[in-house]
Amino acid sequence: MRFEVGSALSIGAILFTVIIVAAMLIWVERRLLGLWQERLGPNRVGPFGLLQVVADMIKIFAKEDWVPPFADRFSFLLAPPIIMVVILMSFSVIPFAPGVGVIDSDIGVLFVLAMASLGAYSVMLGGLSSNNKYALLGSLRAAAQMVSYEVFMGISLLGVVALAGTFNLREIVLSQADGWYILPQCVGFVIFLIAGVAESHRLPFDIPEAEQEIVAGYHTEYSGMKFGMFFVGEYLGVVLVSSLIVVLFFGGWLGPAFLPPIVCFVLKASVFVAFFVLLRAAIPRPRYDQLMNYGWLFLLPLSLLNLLLTGAFVLWQEGM
């Protein structure tokens, strides 16, 4: 069996790696938070506390698989797999390295955006079916937040698409051979980064699950492996957004010749994963109205302006 785009081996390896990485992120995040907060973080289970994840897994699998009697059973059970599935699906279009990927799609960017939109259903269903006021509040917040930020997430990407002239992510990477899009699209990058944090509802934009206000938001009633799916889904989201940033703005696997492309990609992505953790360690959560105002009144005009300028530049370049 050859290791090429779309091969079973490739698919299997990617699926396995992505899930393992997402799981390990639990440990990575806690250690990094400890580092930045002058603590130690989990260091008791295994060397450097590496087996903490295993311990957590054992705990989460061993928990009773319980559905609250007042919840809507079908949608309650349906919600957690959705988020897992849509995010894993998004990974299928990510070009990790030459020859490493699931499909080479011409509508890669659109596919990712589409999948991100579907993720909102998971959160919505989870919150509504729980039949719990905190869960409902959380899911309402999540829906509003995800729908809003999707708008300019998409618009911010259009600059890159315009420059590359394609929706195919693999081609976008290749088109950055002469220079990464971070330079011409730095505004787009910042907007995408912010929107990405909001999409994966990570701190500081974890308003849907703000534990100081609404217990645990949309997953208040979840426990055991169903909660685990939400939990791992969140870390998968982190990996996905980091990968997308690398692919769209930092030249994907492109790098110095002495490094294998996949290593280059992983290194770049790791930086952004760490950055996500740093955000959590440093920035406090905004108020809900601040979040919405910020999105609609600041980021949206800014992303439109960015698109306008990029479009003008592309037209001007073509005209020359």
CB of 311 to another protein, least distance (A): 24
CB of 58 to another protein, least distance (A): 23
For residue 274, what are its two tokens? Answer: 């760490």
* Measured distance CA(265)–CA(243) in Å, rounded: 8
CB of 245 to another protein, least distance (A): 16
In the bound state with another protein, the residue whose beta carbon lies nearer, of 35 and 97, is 35
Binding footprint of another protein on the chain (CB under 8 A): 34-40, 278-279, 281-283
Contact status, residue 238 vs residue 276, Cβ threshold 8 Å: yes
φ, ψ (nearest 5 deg) of residue 266: -60, -40
Strand partners, 97: 100
CB of 157 to another protein, least distance (A): 21
Q: Is 271 left (phi over 0), alpha (psi -120 to 50) or beta?
A: alpha
In the bound state with another protein, the residue whose beta carbon lies nearer, of 19 and 304, is 304
In the bound state with another protein, the residue whose beta carbon lies nearer, of 48 and 313, is 48
In the bound state with another protein, the residue whose beta carbon lies nearer, of 255 and 286, is 286
In the bound state with another protein, the residue whose beta carbon lies nearer, of 250 and 276, is 276
In the bound state with another protein, the residue whose beta carbon lies nearer, of 38 and 64, is 38
Distance from chain centroid for Cα 51: 24
* Measured distance CA(307)–CA(162) in Å, rounded: 9
Contact status, residue 162 vs residue 314, Cβ threshold 8 Å: yes
Contact status, residue 221 vs residue 130, Cβ threshold 8 Å: yes
CB of 34 to another protein, least distance (A): 7
* Measured distance CA(151)–CA(173) in Å, rounded: 23
CB of 204 to another protein, least distance (A): 9
Closest to 210 in 3D by CA, of 219, 222, 197: 219
